[in-house]
Amino acid sequence: MDNIRNLRRDQAHATKRKLIDKAFRLFEKYGYDNVTIDQICNELGLTKGAFYHHFRSKADILLRRYKIAEGDIFELFNNNLKLPPDVQLRKIFDFYLEYFQENRLDEVKVLIKIQMDKHYKNFALTSTLQRQVLKHIIQKGQESGCFKKNVDSEETARFIMSYLYGLLSEWCAYDGKIQFSASLNNFYEKYLKEILFLKNETSK
175 pLDDT above the threshold of 90: yes
CATH code of the domain occupying 1-55 = 1.10.10.60
Pairs from 133-136 (Cβ < 8 Å, separation ≥ 24): 133/73, 133/74, 133/77, 133/92, 134/89, 134/92, 134/160, 134/161, 136/77
pTM over 0.85: no
Complete DSSP assignment for 181-198: HHHHHHIIIIIIHHHHB-
* pLDDT tens readout for residues 56-95: 888 888 878 777 788 889 999 999 999 999 999 999 999 9
Give residue limits of the domains in the chain.
Answer: 1-55, 57-204
Question: The CATH number of 57-204 is which of 1.10.260.40, 3.40.50.150, 3.30.110.30, 1.10.357.10?
Answer: 1.10.357.10
Residue 203 — very low, low, confident or very high, per pLDDT cuts 50/70/90? very low
Bridge partners of 197, per DSSP, are 147
Residue 8 — very low, low, confident or very high, per pLDDT cuts 50/70/90? low
Residue 160 — very low, low, confident or very high, per pLDDT cuts 50/70/90? very high
Alpha helices in 58-148 (DSSP H): 58-79, 85-99, 105-117, 128-144
